[in-house]
């Protein structure tokens, strides 16, 4: 792609670094911004800048939050004895939308994936295990996507908790293996949380 402007070229390059955005789409977006009032671009860059510099992670569940303890963890009406283990904030949002879960979450920040060089130490597993060992947690619900990485992660955490008195269950999904949690519809997802099954039963013999 030949550019007549270095400024435009730089902007297109930066936008095209985002996932799923090729050079052509990046060019279309950059030209779109140029047609809009200048404030629009200022609002966009300021929102992104603030997101990056001011974002916090909840000290209890590691969910993205504007404050040290997220709204869900700070809510005394939620049941702190039941923890739903998820991969990221998108899963928290999906489960919250079902309105069927009144416990707390633990956001792992990913799944164990040797292919992508993600090991247990790259996730918040240690803090989860410590939290459960401290007591006060009666049940862990694994709600990772049913991919090989999701299963590996569930099993790793399950093994870390051997000898600890805590019920472990996994959400019973009516959706196909490999479907990501965030794409499941609310009713199916809500039902699968209510109809969760003991983790041991979910493991293949």
Residues 56-95 that bind Zn ion (CB under 5 A): 58, 60-61, 63, 70, 73
What are the tokens at 32?
A: 């779109």
Smallest gap from Cβ 8 to Zn ion, in A, equals 42
- Cα 21 from Cα 14, distance rounded (Å): 10
Smallest gap from Cβ 132 to Zn ion, in A, equals 16
Q: Which stretch binds Zn ion (CB under 5 A): 38-46, 52-60, 112-120, 149-157?
A: 52-60
Smallest gap from Cβ 61 to Zn ion, in A, equals 3
Q: Closer to Zn ion by CB, 73 or 89: give it.
A: 73
Q: Closer to Zn ion by CB, 60 or 168: give it.
A: 60
Q: Closer to Zn ion by CB, 64 or 175: give it.
A: 64
Q: Is 171 in the site for Zn ion (CB under 5 A)?
A: no
Smallest gap from Cβ 69 to Zn ion, in A, equals 6
Q: Please name every residue paired with 82 in a beta bridge, in sequence order, or none if there are none.
A: 139
Q: Closer to Zn ion by CB, 58 or 157: give it.
A: 58
Asked if residues 33 and 8 have their Cβ atoms less than 8 Å apart, the reply is no
Q: Closer to Zn ion by CB, 11 or 72: give it.
A: 72
Smallest gap from Cβ 70 to Zn ion, in A, equals 3
Q: Which residues bind Zn ion (CB under 5 A)?
A: 58, 60-61, 63, 70, 73
């Amino acid at each position: 792609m030949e550019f007549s402007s270095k400024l435009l070229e730089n902007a297109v390059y930066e936008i095209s670094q985002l996932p799923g955005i090729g050079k052509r789409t990046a060019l279309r977006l950059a030209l779109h911004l140029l047609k809009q009032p200048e404030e629009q671009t200022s609002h966009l860059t300021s929102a992104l800048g603030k997101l990056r510099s001011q974002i916090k992670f909840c000290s209890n569940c590691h969910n993205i939050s504007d404050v040290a303890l997220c709204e869900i963890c700070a809510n005394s009406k939620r049941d702190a004895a039941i923890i739903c283990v998820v991969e990221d904030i998108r899963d928290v949002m999906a489960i919250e939308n079902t309105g069927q879960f009144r416990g707390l979450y633990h956001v792992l920040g990913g799944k164990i994936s040797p292919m992508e060089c993600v090991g247990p130490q790259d996730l918040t597993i240690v803090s989860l295990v410590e939290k459960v060992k401290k007591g006060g947690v009666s049940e862990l619900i694994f709600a990772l996507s049913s991919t090989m990485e999701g299963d590996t992660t569930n099993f790793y955490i399950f093994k870390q908790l051997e000898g600890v008195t805590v019920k472990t269950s996994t959400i019973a999904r009516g959706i196909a293996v490999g479907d990501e949690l965030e794409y499941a519809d609310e009713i199916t997802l809500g039902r699968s949380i209510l109809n969760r099954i003991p983790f041991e039963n979910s493991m293949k013999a």
